[in-house]
Amino acid sequence: MVRVGDRDIYFTEAGAGPVVVLLHGGGPGASGRSNYSRNIEALAGKFRVIVPDMPGYGRSTKRVDHTDPFGDLAAAVGGLLDALGVPRAHLVGNSYGGAAALRLAMDRPEKVDRMILMGPGGVGTTRALPTKGLQSLLSYYSGTGPSREKLAQFVRDYLVYDASAVTEDIIDNRYQASLDPEVIENPPLRRPSGPGALRTVWRMDFTRDPRLGKVRHPTLVVWGAADQVNRPSGARMLADRMPDCDVYLAARTGHWVQWERAELFNDLAATFLGHSR
């Protein structure tokens, strides 16, 4: 646990070498270790792997600035690197974590080396209606409140391509983690509301930010071709705007590329992050 500003950020780490920070997604019950359970050991053979629980999740402080959530997450990640004495790191981000990584590259480019973004959030979100998967995610804590049935539907119907690979233990563990009273009272990922909602929505779409075209960090975008949470068309949007952006579209894969296609992802990540500038 490390203090970053007025929040505590929990993280685990493994391995030695260039620093790679793995940033998890924003689904209910998510955490660093659970989202990257199939990747940490493989990457730790070549890198110093740091895996935080993002603010609002796991063991970290349950508070996020909802007027600028991606900016707040980016500040937390940058602050974590500062607290650990890491001047610069590779960033690997899935969904919510991908949005945090991309925003940090805009806000504090000197802290970022290479990036891998898997189905990142905040790409073209103002240019189309939300997907069914994103609606499921955002409505988890609203209405009748959290339930195992809602959690199972989100994971099996929207998070992955092959639901048969999802065990009952995965559902149980995610469901129990989603029941933290602080999270239920103040969900970290929710629809913007209130007087500043439109400004927040606009700010959360990176394709509306002119700084996106100035992000020159070597970037690999990995997107599941069957992603039902964030549309795969977002990969093309990033490639069209970012000057050093490669794209890999994974067939028969949903939103959780690093878990569903772990061997493929680990090989891609080790190769891409192992290149020198």
| Amino acid occupying residue 226 | A
Helix (H, G, I), strand (E, B) or coil at 258: helix
Distance CA 272, CA 277 (A): 11
Distance CA 68, CA 43 (A): 31
66 is catalytic: no
CA atoms within 13 A on the CB side of 141: 20
Contact 229, 95 (CB under 8 A): yes
Q: What's the gap between Cα 163 and its chain centre?
A: 21
Distance CA 147, CA 132 (A): 18
Among 24, 217, 255, 275, the active-site one is 255
Contact 65, 71 (CB under 8 A): yes
Distance CA 119, CA 112 (A): 19
DSSP state of 213: G
Q: How many helices (H) and strands (E) does the chain have?
A: 12, 9
Active-site residue set: 255
